[in-house]
Amino acid sequence: MTVAIIQFGGSNCDNDVLHILQDVLGIKAELVWYKEGKLDGYEAAIIPGGFSYGDYLRSGAIASRTPIMEAVKKLANDGKPVMGICNGFQILTESGLLDGALTTNSYPKFKCEWSYLRVENTNTPFTSMYEKGQVIRIPIAHKDGRYYHDDASLQQLEDNNQVVFRYVDEKGNPSKDVNPNGSLNNIAGITNREGNVLGMMPHPERASETIIGSDDGLLMFKSMVESGRK
């Protein structure tokens, strides 16, 4: 599998993702500048975190209209895995690849801290190596991470099992107290209906080596790679 890591002006987690894929997992991955119009030869794409275009207008709004996103949409429509992390999640919602929106945290400040997530759906290319209900420890770093959707569409996400990660405590219980940004239903990550496009606010690339405090995020990348071999 060859993975494209999409770079925008303002991306700051691109090399972190590259390190995990290349140096930890030994997977071929390449940084792809946003002005490219094609992703021929790539079997997956990851849009990393950062502040594309300085988060002007809305987080991810300008980046979602760049040439590379048409190629990302084509990759997704072909059933290939596409992952958006933090700013990447915002870009995926702004581009229409994922439903809903990411708005300013309920406490409107940048938050950088460890969070616990419960794995809600293991039937995706990104979570197949986890166990349903497993609690994992992955950090967040954002100001605009509050997931929002209208009530009817939110219920559809839940009914379709598109909620993949939820903010919880160490024992796996969701509550307002452990919700770092006010996301509806404690949502930390979702997929499209087909399950091959994932967006999440926490940073799995920052939790993929024990030396930095957790390797709970590594199985996400391993699952994605394994899905490409099937």
pLDDT tens digits, residue range 6-19? 999 999 999 999 99
pLDDT value at residue 230 = 62
DSSP conformation class of 182: -
The pLDDT of 98-115, averaged and rounded, is 95
The pLDDT of 77-105, averaged and rounded, is 97
pLDDT value at residue 227 = 85
Other beta carbons within 10 angstroms of residue 10's beta carbon come to 16
The answer to whether residue 43 scores a pLDDT higher than 80 is yes
The answer to whether residue 154 scores a pLDDT higher than 80 is yes
**Phi, psi (degrees; rounded to nearest 5) at 111:** -120, 130
Structural domains counted in the chain: 1
In terms of Cα–Cα distance, which of 147, 60, 59 is closest to 100? Answer: 147
| Residue numbers of the domain that contains 51 | 2-228
Distance (Å, whole) CA 157 – CA 6: 27
pLDDT value at residue 38 = 92
**What is the band of 57 on the pLDDT scale with cuts at 50, 70, 90?**
confident
pTM of this prediction? Answer: 0.95
Distance (Å, whole) CA 69 – CA 14: 16
Q: What is the CATH number of the domain that holds 49?
A: 3.40.50.880
The answer to whether residue 168 scores a pLDDT higher than 70 is yes
The answer to whether residues 168 and 224 touch, using CB atoms and an 8 Å cutoff, is no
pLDDT value at residue 34 = 93
Residues with a catalytic annotation lie at: 86, 203, 205
Q: Which pair of structure tokens corresponds to residue 86?
A: 């933090």
